[in-house]
Amino acid sequence: MLFFLLLFLPSLSCRGVAIGGTAVERPTIEQQTVEGKGDLRVCFLEDNLPLSFRKENKGFDLDTAKAVAEVLNRTLVPVWVKNSTQILEIEESDFPLRRLSKNECDAIFSVPGVEAIKDAPKAAIGEPYYGAAFELVGREGSGLSNLNSVGENPVAVQAQTVANFVLRARKAKMRTFFSVETALEGVEKGEATAALVWGPSAGWYLHNHPETQLSLATGYEPPAAVRWNEHVATRKSDTELREKIDVALAQLREKGALKLLLERYGIPAHSPFATTYSVAEMQRLQ
């Protein structure tokens, strides 16, 4: 998701359904269900692995939503949203909050905190259920454990990302690339000693390219300035649904099911962080 990557971190169907020319009001979540039964409509981007991919009906968010729907005794109804995979400025398609606000879906998974919904006054987020961060990746056996262990050697980063800003603040040497994939390939080719790249994307790449001699740094703890907690967003008025989803996710985490889903897609498994990205955390690096 581009939100996590871009340096500036900007924020990113209808309720009436016509039948025979007459607008019929769609039932609210509370009206749909007795004892939890009903639909759970979740918005997913069509081409956004490792989170969602319509063509192959897979992705961490999709699988997590299926698990949540099962706990809630609901039927998952995916609402697929077309998105661009190009690195452009943030658009509505990167976080389909308008669709959520217009009651085209009930929830969006993997939303990185209140900053992501600041321009969507009808939306609210639940409790954090996992953490995601920029991860340090190096050659297997390199002994990397943190940014200090890189020394004076160059670090590969994706252009216009928070990682790019962090390394500049630390006065570290950098090699800039236009994607996570090319940054990791740069490390493979010896153009950089390590890469500081978005963890879910890096983990997915490594999961699908076991032939590479790269791995996530062992014992690496992402600094607060490069990490976020992920939440489920719902409409602010759907308090009961939001609380039920939080309970379902907590159950999945306690049973270890959430960790297994993260591992299925190579996503580094972090519990929610105590502190996350903020302007103050960025200033501490300078």
> pLDDT by residue (tens digit) across 33-78?
434 469 999 999 999 999 999 999 999 999 999 999 999 999 999 9
Nearest CA to 197 out of 147, 242, 259, 243 is that of 147
Mean pLDDT value of segment 79-108: 79
How far is Cα 269 from Cα 130, in angstroms, rounded to an integer?
8
Dihedral angle sign, alpha carbons of residues 277, 268, 59, 69:
negative
pLDDT at 3 over 70: no
What was the pLDDT predicted at 197? 97
How far is Cα 95 from Cα 72, in angstroms, rounded to an integer?
24
Report yes or no: 131 and 273 within 8 Å, Cβ to Cβ.
Answer: yes
pLDDT at 30 over 70: no
pLDDT, tens only, 194-245:
999 999 999 999 999 999 999 999 889 999 999 999 999 999 999 999 999 9
How far is Cα 15 from Cα 219, in angstroms, rounded to an integer?
48
How far is Cα 214 from Cα 209, in angstroms, rounded to an integer?
9
Report yes or no: 209 and 201 within 8 Å, Cβ to Cβ.
Answer: no
What was the pLDDT predicted at 286? 60
What was the pLDDT predicted at 147? 86
Could you tell me what percent of the chain has a pLDDT over 70? 84
Q: Who has greater pLDDT, 272 or 278?
A: 272
Radius of gyration (C-alpha) of the chain in whole angstroms: 20
Question: Could you give all domains of the chain from N- to C-terminal order, each with its CATH number?
Answer: 2-130+228-274 (3.40.190.10), 131-225 (3.40.190.10)
pLDDT at 18 over 70: no
What was the pLDDT predicted at 37? 64
pLDDT, tens only, 163-198:
999 998 888 999 999 999 999 999 999 999 999 999
How far is Cα 201 from Cα 184, in angstroms, rounded to an integer?
11
Please give the C-alpha separations between residue 123 and each of 67, 107, 113, 154, in angstroms, as whole numbers: 23, 9, 12, 41
What was the pLDDT predicted at 91? 37
Mean pLDDT value of segment 242-260: 98
What was the pLDDT predicted at 252? 98
How far is Cα 49 from Cα 177, in angstroms, rounded to an integer?
20
How far is Cα 110 from Cα 154, in angstroms, rounded to an integer?
31
Mean pLDDT value of segment 116-120: 94
What was the pLDDT predicted at 157? 96
What was the pLDDT predicted at 21? 35
pLDDT, tens only, 123-153:
999 999 999 999 999 999 888 888 888 889 9
pLDDT, tens only, 148-159:
888 899 999 999
3-state SS class at 263: helix
Nearest CA to 79 out of 48, 50, 108 is that of 108
Report yes or no: 193 and 154 within 8 Å, Cβ to Cβ.
Answer: yes
User: Helix, strand, coil proportions of the chain in percent (round to 5)?
Assistant: 35, 25, 40
HEC string of 129-192 equals CEEEEEEEEEECCCCCCCHHHHCCCCEEEECCEHHHHHHHHCCCCEEEECCHHHHHHHHHCCCC
Nearest CA to 241 out of 61, 106, 128, 118 is that of 106
What was the pLDDT predicted at 90? 35
CB atoms within 10 A of CB 52: 27
